[in-house]
Structure 1
Amino acid sequence: MTTTADLWHHYGRARAERDRAVPKAFHWIWSQDGGPGPEALGDLSGRVVGDLGAGAARHAAHLVTRHDPARVVAVDASPAQYGIATGLYGHLAPRLRITQSDAVPHLRTMTDSYDVLYSVFGAIDFTDPYELLPVAASALSPGGRLVFSTLAHHLGGAPARTDAAATVIPARTPEGEKVTMRRWVLQEHIWTKVLDEAGFGRIAADVLPASAGGPRAADTLLVTAHRPC
């Protein structure tokens, strides 16, 4: 039996060892140090919220402790990220539910279940939008909201793609072997097109400038869409 290497095995591990606190702030921008906060999600009081590609579930933990949702489900496919998230924030159950799953099969089982779905450089960046967005629309209740932040251009400055195709980027296995993975870095009008084809309406996008320079600085595209009522 062949298993897929967990390409997120090392991501965030060093931080988890030194910082176990629930974050005091929620940021959408790439550098995670400014810009809009959770107000982009709307009023979360009593709402059921899903974080797609939650990683260590820091954003989800912030929402649970500071914005009074009924429940936040933090979904991530990585066994390592699931382990880190449960170690950090498992005590916030049952209002925080940490789930190890690819986003697409999870959403297929959750028809009309979520009031809000969001992704902060998460599953929407790393999943074929023609597979993910239709099931995200179905998983939202009528009128529900999808919000995601994604790269407005490739790291290094190359422009975002003008078609809904993935860019191949470098990655490493847990053992350090060099491999590749796919990331969708699309221009605003392409995201609008695929969201519309997936059944979303009231689509809006804003470019949030990078807060500082540097070789890995990047502007952020913040996108909001709704399932029609």
Structure 2
Amino acid sequence: MTSSTADLWHHYGRTRAGTDREVPDTFYWTWGQDAGPGPEVLGDLTGRCVGDLGAGAARHAAHLAARHQPAQVIAVDASPAQHAMAADLYGHLAPRLLLVHSDVVSHLHATPAMYDVLYSVFGAVDFTDPGELLPAAATALRPGGRLMFSTLAHYLSGAAAQPDVVAADIPAKTQHGEAATMRRWVLQEHVWTKALDAAGFTQIDINVLPATGEGPRTAATLLVSACVPE
């Protein structure tokens, strides 16, 4: 089964939400979420409008809203279950944290020149066609604004990333446990660079963060940063 309408993120993070309701002290960009650079690489967010693309339970967004003095962090996610979980966990951080239930591309098109910073930690950038998301992100950023995201440097199986803008179908489950698939873009560095350039971004910088552990589902991370012209 392949589904574009079922909520394939219903189960994600649900077990943790039952026991961990705190605002995180920090977060990491690496796949293992246990080492490497943290939110400081986003720069000074004081008074800035920040968007989390594919925010899930909004743990990263909650950290930024509570610890970094932005004007506002807007956490966008298309999953009804993830949006509801985020509201339950961090709704009390409003209005500095705004939780938006929306398709990310639609939201970005509806908010031209609104954001100073957009970011994604293995979020919507991984699961949305770059040909749609990246131009929308460029439109939603103010002049000089910045997009930053972490994404897989290779497949979790160890297979190499794609040499072109091609998605892979990966296994998922519906709310009721039925088998499904979702699309994920795992691209090589030069492919991301070309896609960002085509979308109008400049100052493109990509760093490879090595895997922090061993095992069948560990992976290196690409940490990507790009700006729109001033």
Please report the TM-score for the alignment, with normalisation by the length of structure 2: 0.98
**What's 2:154 paired with?**
153
CA distance in 1, matches of 2:207, 2:89: 32
CA distance in 2, matches of 1:171, 1:80: 15
Q: Is the Cα contact below 8 Å between 1:166 and 1:185 reproduced in 2? A: yes
**What's 2:126 paired with?**
125
Instruction: Give deviations 1:166-188, integer Å, cap 9, x for gaps.
Output: 01111111111111110000000
SS of the equivalent of 1:18 reads: coil
Q: Is 2:51 aligned against 1:50?
A: yes
Shift of 1:3: 8.2
**What's 1:81 paired with?**
82
Please report the TM-score for the alignment, with normalisation by the length of structure 1: 0.98
- CA RMSD in angstroms comes to 1.0
Regions of 4+ moved over 4 Å: none
**What's 2:200 paired with?**
199
SS of the equivalent of 2:84 reads: helix
CA distance in 1, matches of 2:7, 2:20: 23
CA distance in 1, matches of 2:152, 2:100: 25
CA distance in 1, matches of 2:182, 2:82: 17
Pairs aligned (count) = 228
Q: Is 2:220 aligned against 1:211?
A: no
**What's 1:175 paired with?**
176
Q: Is the Cα contact below 8 Å between 1:121 and 1:151 reproduced in 2? A: yes
SS of the equivalent of 1:15 reads: helix
Unpaired segments ≥5 residues, structure 2? none
CA distance in 1, matches of 2:217, 2:54: 21
Q: Is 2:221 aligned against 1:220?
A: yes
Distance 1:153 1:87, change over 3 A: same
Amino acid of the structure 2 residue aligned with 1:84: M
CA distance in 1, matches of 2:104, 2:21: 25
CA distance in 2, matches of 1:56, 1:3: 20
**What's 2:166 paired with?**
165
Amino acid of the structure 1 residue aligned with 2:80: P
Shift of 1:52: 0.1
SS of the equivalent of 2:133 reads: helix
SS of the equivalent of 1:110 reads: coil
CA distance in 2, matches of 1:9, 1:193: 33
